[in-house]
Every structure is written in structure tokens, then in C-alpha cells.
A and B are shown apart, each in its own frame.
Chain A
């Protein structure tokens, strides 16, 4: 495995050379077949290692969401290699990618995507639904995850009874419930006021301190500044990576 871990150029140097790479992008391009074709990524390479808190920042249209798709195995690159926990996603079938997501990835979205008709604990327990865990185990793990995000007292509440910040914490608990190798957050503070947004970022920092590997995609430089490593993208290219520069 170690042999596969290549320290790459274009800002791809590891911040922490002694740990394993959770996700590696190697000269990745992505072109969408529209008319005219859109080259969203033009050769992106970097790695995220265990225990990192990474911000991927860029303006609208820079390609950061495409990076999220590829890191999240929701899409495949046009060329280049994406490895998640050492596995080349181009060589995996759709079923295997689904299993990979269920076991290794947690997602946090700007719009939370909570089921309004399910209690908080069942929303979080659904994070393990496709990992094959029985309901009892899912619920106890969900209770544990909700305790980690500070919502131990709201297990039976419906999401509609929660504030925006609390809803995002529920979504974060859902991403964490399976103890994934990587948590991907897409504009996690985008729908929150500044106070709630700051508390969510504090939570990410705490979870990262406990060992979680987290990548936050954002257009907001202030949000990115809270991350220990920042990868800036523009026009489908990585223009800056603070790995190796020390803190941004």
C-alpha cells in the first residue's frame, strides 16, 4: 500500500507523510459531454491523509464540486486516477462503489437532506442502512454519533423542530455514524447564519482532533481559513495547496 502512495506535484505533497492516504487524485481530468464540452478539471493531483482537516476552496465554476463527486465516488474521472483507501475507483463496478461509499465515506450537504418525517435518531441511523447493520445496532450507533455532535437530548425530535445549525449537526452525525475513513462536506455552512456556521466549523475541528479525516468544499475563504490545510482551485486546476507551507 505504501508503494502506491506517491507524493505528487501540483501541490499534492502530503502534509503528513507518515500516515496513509485516504484519497489520492493523480492527474485527474473531467470533461462533461455537453455542447460545447466543459472541461471541469484539467489535471488535478493531491492526496488527503488520515487525520487531516482539508478545505477545498474556489469560486463558482472552479471545479470544486466535481472534485467532491470524484472523491465521493459519485462520478468517475475522464482520465487520471482517483484512489479511495487505495482502491482505484475506475476499476470498481457501480455495486462496489456503492459498498465503498457505505463503508468508507460520510457526506454532509448544504441542504442537510434530512427526512422530515423521521426522528433525528432514525435519520442518523439511515447512515448505516446500506452497510448491512441491523436496526438495533444502527440506532445505538446513531445515539452515539448524536452524542458526539451534542444532540444527545434530541433523539426523538423531528428535524422540523430543530434550528438550522442543529439540523446540520444531525447531518454530520449521519455522516459520522459509520466511522468512515473520510467525511466530505459540501458547503456545510452555506445555509446557516454566521453563529451556527461557526459552531459547525468548531464541531469539525473537534471531530478532526478526535481523528476524523474531513474535507470541506466551500467557496467561502473565511470557512477555508478555519481548515488546517487549504487547497485552492480555479478553472479546473489546483492553484495553491497549503500542505507543507504550515498553517494557511
Chain B
């Protein structure tokens, strides 16, 4: 037995260690598994939604950026702008040649739009049903320099560019109902038959090519009196020279009227598009936040019930020497543990759904630290907020009322 007398100075209650607190916090979770699981589910759904939204958006962005990197960021395009009177300006015929002579430019390709020529599946299609396709005369290395290639058949070459032959962009082929190339396949173009010799793959960097029907410059000049002025010039530069070339392009392409020239870098537009997609996520994040809030109410509710049900345990612990602080800490940590379990399940579910979706799309799986860190952080915060009021109630409970309650 301890000595019967004590000094008040020795009456300083020790703090519970993290291990003991952990054991106490897990009492409610271990003894009421189903209830704990269901209340953690709300948090899990909210966190999973947030992690999945952020993860999918990051993965899709990573996928798009990887695609852009694969296609190259060194593609520049020059197109004819508008003149002072608002009419479409013309690029000089010599533009491609002049651009090719800029230091750092490695390849130049170009197309010339035949604005008054349309392509149809057959002569019986009404003239108004153009399918929004354009007919362009093209230089001979176009597909490879704009980052696409020939899906079916062949591209035009020096021997065939003077013949009534055409190559279809990916969307153009689809709209014309042509999915393969065979001998005798033809379309009605500018009032005469043109034979289809090839279909291109999708051109991600230059989507205008997708809706083009491409023919050779000589044939365009011969049959349609095309003047040979290019409307779009595509050039590749050495990667380190992109900016330098960009700055002189307008002046080089049209020295007389550089302000009538549009210069752009297609990869920039795609990066901007990727960023714009991310902005849409705020809606889904908002939905995730709402479900987190619902989860928090669930946890608070469970904790309130738990405190009521466990009055005798609280009374016993007070009799065993627990301070109000010990009781408060026990119930607070139980709420945080509950939320943390939900948070962990949510992060796992969110990451797993991101991984599954991203792998079906062929993207890299990216779950940004903000997503999982934020998921865990939100769970801890929710647990603390939801557990605060029940924990305070538990701590305020008088030991005698708690012990002798039924």
C-alpha cells in the first residue's frame, strides 16, 4: 500500500502518451466496426471524389503535355491574316522559300486554300452540304512535319501531285464516309472526280488539316486556276531557336505587310487548353467538398451518440483518474481516427480510380501531392471539428452522473 498521506504538490496528472491515446482512440472503432465503417464512408466518398478529380485532371494534363512533347513544341505556323480593309490577305508565293532561309528553321511545309472549291462524296450531294471541309493544295512533306502520318494508302509525291488525286484528313475521311483506300475510290471535287490515295491520322497540333482534302499544287493550278499563294505555312525550328524564329517570322513571310500575317505556336494553344480543362474541375471539387461536409455531420452525429452510450465508460475512466483533458483527448482522437480512416480509404479509392482511368487512356498516372495531402488534411480537420463538440460534452460530464446513469 502507498503511504496514506500525500502532498498536493505531487498531484500533477501525467499526460497520456501517443501510444495510449492511440489505443483509447481505437476503442470505439474496434468495438463498433460497422457503425465506424459507415460513418467513415461519408468522409471516404468526399475524399475519393476530390482525389479522383484532381488526379484525373492532372493525369489528363500530363497525357496532353506528353502528347505535345512527343509532337514537338518547335512547330510554328504562319497564316494569312486580314488586310487593312478586313479582307483576307495573301501570303507572297515566295514566303515558304524565304522562311526556309531563316537560320534555325529546319523544315517548311505549306498549304494553299482553294476557297471556291468544295469536295463531296458524289455529284448528287447538294452543293450546300460541304461538311465544312476545305480543299487545300499541299506541299509534299506536310504530314510528317506537322506531327502526323499517313494512316492508310500513301501521300502525294512528285509524280502524283499533278494528277487528280487527293489525300483526306482524318475528319474529312470520316465525314465523307471513307474508312479505307482502295483502287477506284473517288470523290467529287470542284466538279470533277478525284481519286483518294491516302487518309491521314489525326493531326493534334494542326486540327485544320483534319478537315482538309489535300491535292497537289500543280493540279490545283491546272484545273482550278489556283494562284499558288500559300495560306498556311508550317515550319519546324531547332528547339533552341523557336523564339528567335518566331520574332522574325512575320517580317520574313511578308516583308511588305508584316501586320497581315498571323504567327502562332500550336503547342501553346494546347497547353492553354489543358489549363482551361483544369478550371472546370472546381465544379467537381465543390461536389466533393459537399460530400465531405455531409461526412463530417455523420462523424459528429456518431460521436454524439457514442458519448451518450458510453457515459458509464466515461464515469469509470474519471474514477480511474482520467482528467477532463484525458476524456476530451480520447473522444477527439477517436473522431480524428474515424475521419482519418475514411480519408485513407478515400485517398486509396481516388488514386485507384485515377490509375484505372488514366491507364485506359494511356496517360501517366499522376496523383498530385495536393490531392492526397489535401485529402488527409481535410479528413483530420473534419475529424477535429466534428469531434470537438461531443468531446467537450464528454469531458464536461460529471463523473457521478456518468457512472450511475443507465
Q: A-side interface residues toward B, CB under 8 Å? A: 1, 19-22, 50, 65, 69, 72, 74-75, 84-87, 91-92, 94-96, 98-105, 107, 109, 111, 113, 115-117, 126-127, 129-132, 134-135, 174, 179-181, 211-213
A72 to B10, CA, bound (A): 18
Give the Cβ gap from A208 to chain B, nearest Cβ, in Å: 11
Contact between chains at B13 and A98 (CB < 8 Å): yes
- State which size class the interface on B falls in: 35 or more
Contact between chains at A65 and B404 (CB < 8 Å): yes
CB neighbours (8 Å) of A129 from chain B are 16, 20, 320-322
Q: A65-B404, A130-B14 are in contact. List 8 more A-B contacts (CB 8 A).
A: A74-B399, A75-B399, A87-B6, A107-B316, A115-B313, A132-B13, A181-B2, A213-B4
Contact between chains at A74 and B4 (CB < 8 Å): no
* Interface membership of chain B positions 1-28, coded 1 if the CB is closer than 8 angstroms to chain A and 0 otherwise: 1111111101111101101100000010
CB neighbours (8 Å) of B6 from chain A are 84-87, 100, 103-104, 181
Contact between chains at A98 and B323 (CB < 8 Å): yes
CB neighbours (8 Å) of A104 from chain B are 2, 6
Give the Cβ gap from A210 to chain B, nearest Cβ, in Å: 9
CB neighbours (8 Å) of B2 from chain A are 103-104, 179-181
Q: Which residue of A lies closest to B23 (CB)?
A: A135
Contact between chains at A181 and B316 (CB < 8 Å): no
Q: Which residue of B lies closest to A127 (CB)?
A: B320
Contact between chains at A130 and B13 (CB < 8 Å): yes
Residues of B312-343 contacting chain A, CB below 8 A:
312-313, 316-326
Contact between chains at A131 and B323 (CB < 8 Å): no
A116 to B318, CA, bound (A): 19
Contact between chains at B1 and A101 (CB < 8 Å): no
Contact between chains at B323 and A20 (CB < 8 Å): no
Q: A104-B2, A211-B1, A212-B1 are in contact. Are A130 and B320 (CB under 8 A)?
A: yes
Partner of B322, one of A84, A115, A130: A130
Give the Cβ gap from B1 to chain A, nearest Cβ, in Å: 5
Q: A99-B13, A109-B403 are in contact. Are A135 and B19 (CB under 8 A)?
A: yes
The residue among B17, B317, B323, B325 with the most chain A CB atoms within 10 A of its own CB is B323
Give the Cβ gap from B29 to chain A, nearest Cβ, in Å: 11
A50 to B4, CA, bound (A): 7
7 cross-chain CB contacts under 8 A: A20-B4, A22-B4, A95-B12, A96-B13, A103-B6, A132-B13, A135-B20
Q: A21-B4, A87-B6, A179-B2 are in contact. Are A101 and B14 (CB under 8 A)?
A: no
Residues of B372-406 contacting chain A, CB below 8 A:
398-400, 403-404
Contact between chains at A96 and B11 (CB < 8 Å): yes
CB neighbours (8 Å) of A180 from chain B are 1-2
Partner of A126, one of B3, B31, B320, B400: B320
Give the Cβ gap from A5 to chain B, nearest Cβ, in Å: 10
Contact between chains at B4 and A181 (CB < 8 Å): yes
CB neighbours (8 Å) of B325 from chain A are 95
A50 to B27, CA, bound (A): 37
CB neighbours (8 Å) of B70 from chain A are none
Contact between chains at A72 and B1 (CB < 8 Å): no
The residue among B17, B312, B321 with the most chain A CB atoms within 10 A of its own CB is B321
Contact between chains at A115 and B312 (CB < 8 Å): no
Q: A104-B2, A135-B20 are in contact. Are A117 and B30 (CB under 8 A)?
A: yes
